[in-house]
């Protein structure tokens, strides 16, 4: 908890309010408000912050390392709307204390504040960045591979959430090894009829994830399949289409891409 809380205080906590309204929220915590509603929002936010920091610190997994900005483990994002409301309350408190020569300037200050808070959104809309972040995976390719599978067939992948979302196919997470754990799933739960590996596995650390890994690890499996061009004996998925190697690997039980399903 201590180690993960340090990352939250230096990163996630600041990113959750990374606008002018968020900065005014942190400043407004040190100001006493007469309005009881605003004070209750502050107390509620402080309690939520304390609780979410503890829960997020204890529940942090590898998912946060793979996708640090957007992931289901980021609980602090849930209170961002209230952070903006409290920051806006503090802004209007400061605005009431400003001495302006003209009443119309008050509206100009409010418009400037709204524009500053909207700068991230405006920059995102104006700048045309590609929606695909590769690596680790390429959605059109996932849709292509999933299209080769029937709806009731099971795939195995190191990005099962992407296969389920973009490909709309059943997909199970990559097992710990390519032998005992793989066949425990394929023989006892449901037959695995395709394997799809992305740079998350193909571009793993060579020594720690491949050389020093357990016997029949996926690292050894990739070395035999890609480098030696020899799929281990007994592995049921042996056919692969062209165009995937060396940074991706797709194996299946039969030729699906040329003769159909």
Question: How confident is the model over 168-181, as pLDDT tens digits?
Answer: 999 999 998 888 89
H/E run at residue 107: helix 104-117
Q: Which tokens sit at 88? A: 């806006």
Question: How confident is the model over 179-202, as pLDDT tens digits?
Answer: 889 999 999 999 999 999 998 888
Peptide bond into 184 cis (omega under 30): no
Strand order in the sheet with 170-173: 170-173, 154-157, 192-197, 249-252
Structure confidence at residue 211 (pLDDT):
59
Residue 17 has pLDDT above 60, yes or no: no
Whole-model pTM?
Answer: 0.62
Structure confidence at residue 93 (pLDDT):
87
Among candidates 166, 161, 80, which has minimal Cα distance to 174?
161
Domain residues of the chain, as ranges? 2-126, 139-252
pLDDT band with cut points at 50, 70 and 90 for residue 65? confident
Residue 212 has pLDDT above 70, yes or no: no
């Amino acid at each position: 908890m201590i180690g993960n809380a340090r990352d939250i205080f230096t990163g996630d906590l600041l990113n959750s309010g990374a606008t002018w309204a968020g900065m005014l929220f942190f400043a407004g915590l040190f100001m006493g408000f007469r309005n009881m509603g605003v004070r209750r929002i502050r107390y509620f936010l402080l309690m939520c912050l304390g609780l979410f920091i503890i829960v997020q610190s204890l529940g942090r997994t590898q998912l946060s390392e793979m996708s640090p900005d957007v992931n289901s483990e980021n609980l602090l994002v849930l209170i961002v709307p209230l952070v903006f409301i409290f920051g806006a309350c503090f802004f209007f408190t400061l605005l009431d204390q400003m001495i302006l020569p003209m009443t119309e300037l008050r509206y100009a200050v409010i418009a400037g504040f709204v524009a500053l808070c909207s700068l991230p959104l405006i920059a995102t809309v104006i700048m045309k960045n590609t929606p695909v972040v590769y690596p680790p995976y390429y959605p059109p390719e996932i849709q292509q591979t999933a299209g080769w599978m029937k709806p009731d067939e099971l795939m195995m992948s190191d990005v099962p959430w992407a296969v389920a979302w973009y490909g709309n196919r059943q997909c199970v997470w990559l097992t710990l090894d390519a032998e005992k754990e793989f066949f425990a799933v394929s023989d006892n739960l449901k037959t695995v009829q395709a394997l799809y590996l992305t740079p998350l596995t193909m571009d793993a650390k060579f020594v720690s994830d491949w050389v020093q890994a357990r016997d029949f690890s996926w690292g050894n499996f990739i070395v035999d399949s890609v480098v030696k061009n020899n799929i281990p004996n007994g592995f049921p998925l042996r056919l692969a289409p062209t165009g995937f190697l060396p940074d991706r690997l797709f194996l299946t039980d039969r030729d699906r891409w040329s003769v159909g399903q």
